[in-house]
């Protein structure tokens, strides 16, 4: 599946993306300083290549009408990162496995792994396209989460119409204490 929006394309993973993931998770890791840096773990090329190859094999044959939780980001023909969605509960906590009857909400996130492309409006276009995709496939509200030190993401979320709905004070330790933030966006009819 491919979604074109302005200067970006959201698309399914292709095999050549594996080597980008290996590089992003082992060598060029600056992006991790902004996406949950408290979760950063050391890894090696072999482990990453195996993991991303297995992931690619699990998703490569999805039909176009299957709902996507993740797209690769392509800008000017170059793979530069990904956008994804995940479930959170009523306390804005990540939900791994949904229990019967559990209420969950859809949160979206983005990783542009090429620092020279930050601050150019690419992320806002990516999120606009992903938001449109989710609203077109039935979502009526979306959330995004970050931490108070990630000012670029906060500005981007607000620019797109997200409104802060939850703040966990002092819950993120990144060279000091920061707040965990959740933002909400409602679909306008």
pLDDT tens per residue, range 139-174: 999 999 998 888 999 999 999 999 999 998 877 777
- C-alpha torsion sign, points 63, 89, 134, 6: negative
Is the pLDDT assigned to residue 177 strictly greater than 90? no
Three-state DSSP state, 160: coil
Band the pLDDT of 188: cuts 50, 70, 90: confident
Tell me the two tokens of residue 117: 């492309």
Q: Which residues pair with 147 in a beta bridge?
A: 180
What is the C-alpha separation between 81 and 50, in angstroms, rounded? Answer: 19
At 37-67, the pLDDT tens digits run 667 788 889 999 999 999 999 999 999 888 9
Which of 178, 84, 189, 78 lies closest to 131, judged by CA?
84
Q: Which strand (E) or helix (H) includes residue 124? A: helix 122-136
Tell me the two tokens of residue 110: 């983005």
Sequence-separated (6 or more) residues with CB below 8 Å from residue 142? 85, 106, 107, 108, 131, 134, 135, 184, 185
pLDDT of residue 189: 55
């Amino acid at each position: 599946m491919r979604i074109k929006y302005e200067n970006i394309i959201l698309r399914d993973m292709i095999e050549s993306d594996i080597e980008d993931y290996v590089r992003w998770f082992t060598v060029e890791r600056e992006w991790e300083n902004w996406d949950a840096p408290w979760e950063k773990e050391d890894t090696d090329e072999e482990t990453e290549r195996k993991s991303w190859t297995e992931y690619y094999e699990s998703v490569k044959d999805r039909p176009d009408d299957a709902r996507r939780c993740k797209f690769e980001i392509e800008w000017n023909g170059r793979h530069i990162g990904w956008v994804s969605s995940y479930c959170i509960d009523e306390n804005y906590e990540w939900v791994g496995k949904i229990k019967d009857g559990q209420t969950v909400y859809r949160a979206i996130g983005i990783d542009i792994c090429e620092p020279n492309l930050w601050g150019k409006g690419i992320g806002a276009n990516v999120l606009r396209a992903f938001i449109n995709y989710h609203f077109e496939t039935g979502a009526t509200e979306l959330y995004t989460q970050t931490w108070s030190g990630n000012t670029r993401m906060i500005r981007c979320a607000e620019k797109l119409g997200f409104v802060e709905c939850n703040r966990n004070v002092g819950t993120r330790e990144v060279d000091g204490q920061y707040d965990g933030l959740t933002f909400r966006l409602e679909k306008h009819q």
